[in-house]
Structure 1
Amino acid sequence: MQTHHRGLRTFCSAAQHLSFKKAANELSLTPSAVSHQISDLEEELGTKLFKRMTRRISLTHDGSVLYGEINHYLRAIDEATNKIRKQATRHPLLVQMPEFFASELLMPRMSRFSDAHPSIDLQIEGLGITDDHNPAADINIVLSRKTPKAIKVAKLFPIRYVPACSLAQKEKWEHEGIKELTAIRRATILLHKARPDAWNQWAENAGIADLRPKKIIYVDSMFALSRAAEQSVGIALMPLPVSQDWFDSGSLVALHDSHLVTEDYYWLALNGNSNKRVALTFWHWLIDTFNQ
């Protein structure tokens, strides 16, 4: 004869609390149901497990032996089943995006989504300038002037660039009486490898002829470029609104009023292999959060 797990679990709860009423509260049963299950277990085992007194109960010798032998096993079973149950309700979602977007825009706001959707496990994959788009991603965030190929796409916002440097560097030039355009010509230019013509385009847009910087440093990381500008290594064309926090915090200041407005947009791309319900939940949150 095989003893039912339910009866053993009820017994362990009653043995732990030494109370049928407290066991009933823990198991969402009535005290009568607990008493019946204990009686059935005692009948099945052929021995009394509790001494029943007017206002309390206590374990018999056999009850103490049984409790000591099975309690840790039942706890292990409950923990394992709860773990499996929780895993079965998790929803992984792989999202690929440019690293600078992830660090500057998404991560500072990520707790809002996580708090609202605790069952969705986001896997954020940063995309460098030489990386290929991951076809296994549920959602791609893409910086492009062309519409991405996907089953569903949406524009988030356009990108514009502004020349920027550290506050200390700008104050130094102002103290020396050096005008903005002269400073740009004399300064070290920080240039992102993915946009080799950006400074020339900005100069043309600003009406500056023959921009010949003193020195050029090429980098392949927006974060490295931003940090270099912050440390007064040179001046950089910073993308807005992605880098807005650098300006709000005072880490960087604009060096010139002229912005380079581009045809580049951040796009959302939903792929066909995604869990559509879960992916659309994050999709709509991204649009509500970042669409401009």
Structure 2
Amino acid sequence: MSQRRFDLPPLDTLEAFEAAARHLSFTRAGDELALTQSAISRQIKLLEDRLGVVLFRRLHRSLELTDDGRVLERATSTALEQLDRACIELRRADRVRPIVVATTPGFAGLWLIPRISGFSASRPHVDVRISAGNALSNLARDGVDVAIRYLPVDGVPAGALRLFGDVVFPVCSPRLLRDPARPLAEPDHLRQHVLLLAEPDGGNHLQDWPLWLHAMKLPELRPASVLHFSSYDQLIHAAIAGQGVALGKSPLIDRFLKEKKLVTPFRREVASARSYYMLLSEAGAAKPEVREFADWLTEEARLSETAAAPSAVARKRAPTGPRVRPRAPD
């Protein structure tokens, strides 16, 4: 016959003792635990009989812990507090289920974060945790449920789902465009301006100006100067602040064009050979909340790409000229 590992009194007697020791009153302990004073007294008597010690000195209208009572009070208080914290965490874990989403800083800051409240508002039981960085994640090792990356067609892993592609084109602040000392009516005018560059955002080499300038037949163009940033979202906010001219990426920046925080000085764009792809980890694919997020993300991407398509067609058909118009909203 196996022996029990723990030889403990019933939990309700320990809970009654802890409350009585804290209040030094059976009556107040009963009020806290929704029991009568006599019920608390009986629980304490059962505990004393089980342990074979006296825990309280019953004085006239007051209680006092004995030495044995003080020893048990310290141990019981600590144990019950730890149990309580553990139970709270378990209940919280049952109510709120986390999703870890790894993506690039540019996609996170410019596209995902502005939309994520729409997902969270309708699904308060899901806690989306965004991990933004340029290093490719090992989904299983890093505990990632969903990865979103900007990849060429020949670099897409098995099981990845395409969200949308993009095009790139110069953008700047309306204030910079109005500078009479430095016109910005045609690509060659970039010689007079600061160009903004960012570190590759998940392998996005279209953020480098040489590719776009080559397409414009200006491979030797040298700007007035350049400013470098560690991420694409930083670069775009610098462009909004009038720090220089950036290569905008649709649909990532479409909301800034809609709000007229950015404008397109000339309608010249280059289609990217890359697209944004979503990949679920094996563990993530088994979670209902991750599948909910993946369905939401897919629909948001569809709406984003659909909204961007008409404006791209309009730009291609529009005549090129010095008049500047903001790109159509998403």
The TM-score normalised by the length of structure 1 is 0.69
* Correspondence for 2:263 among 247, 253, 258: 253
Equivalent residue, structure 2, for 1:78: 80
SS in 1 for 2:164: strand
Residue 13 of structure 2 is matched in structure 1 by: 7
Higher RCO (CA 8 Å, separation ≥ 6 residues): 1
The equivalent residue for 1:234 is 244
Match of 1:102 in 2: 108
> Structure 1 248/79 Cα, relative in aligned 2: closer, same or farther at 3 Å?
farther
In the alignment, does 2:183 pair up with 1:178?
yes
Aligned to 2:161: 154
Amino acid at match of 2:138: N
- CA separation in 2, counterparts of 1:48 and 1:143? 68
Q: Which secondary structure state, in structure 1, belongs to the residue aligned with residue 178 of structure 2?
A: helix
Of Structure 1 and Structure 2, which has the larger fraction of its residues in strand?
1
Q: Identify if the C-alpha distance between structure 1 residues 125 and 228 changes in structure 2 by more than 3 Å, giving closer, same or farther.
A: closer
| 1:49–1:59 CA contact under 8 A, matched in 2 | no
Count, aligned residues: 275
Runs of 4+ with >6 A deviation? none
Shift of 1:69: 3.9
Residue 170 of structure 1 and its aligned partner are, at CA, apart by: 0.9
Instruction: Report the CA distance shift for 1:281/1:222 in structure 2 as closer, same or farther (over 3 A).
Output: same
AA partner of residue 180 (structure 1): A
Question: Residues of 1 paired with 2:42 and 2:302: CA distance?
Answer: 61
Tell me which of 298, 305, 328 is aligned to 1:287: 298
Counterpart CA distance in 2 for 1:111 and 1:70 is: 49
* 1:199 and 2:212 correspond: yes
The one-letter code of the counterpart of 2:298 is I
Normalised to the residue count of structure 2, the TM-score between the two structures is 0.63
CA contact (8 A) 1:161 1:240 kept: yes
The separation in 1 between residues aligned to 2:276 and 2:164, in whole angstroms, is: 6
Matches within 5 A, 1:97-136: 97-108=103-114, 116-117=123-124, 120=127, 122=129, 124-127=131-134, 131-136=135-140
CA contact (8 A) 1:188 1:214 kept: no
Which one-letter code corresponds to 2:148 in the other structure? I
Question: What are the equivalent positions in structure 2 for 1:136-147 lying under 5 Å apart?
Answer: 136=140, 137-146=144-153
Choose which of 240, 264, 271 in structure 1 pairs with 2:281: 271
- The CA deviation at 1:235 is 1.5
Unaligned runs of 5+ in 1: 204-208
Q: CA RMSD in A?
A: 4.2
CA offsets, 1:238-278, max 9 Å, x none?
Answer: 11232345556765433234544445432211122446215
Contact kept in structure 1, 2:48 and 2:55, CA below 8 Å: yes
Counterpart of 1:283 in 2: which secondary structure?
A: helix
SS in 1 for 2:282: coil
**Secondary structure of residue in 1 paired with 2:133:** strand
Letter in 2 for 1:99: P
Counterparts of 1:229 and 1:119, CA distance in 2: 34
Report the residue type matching 1:159 in the other structure.
D
CA change 1:18–1:223 in 2 (3 A) is same
Residues 1:164 and 2:174 aligned together: no
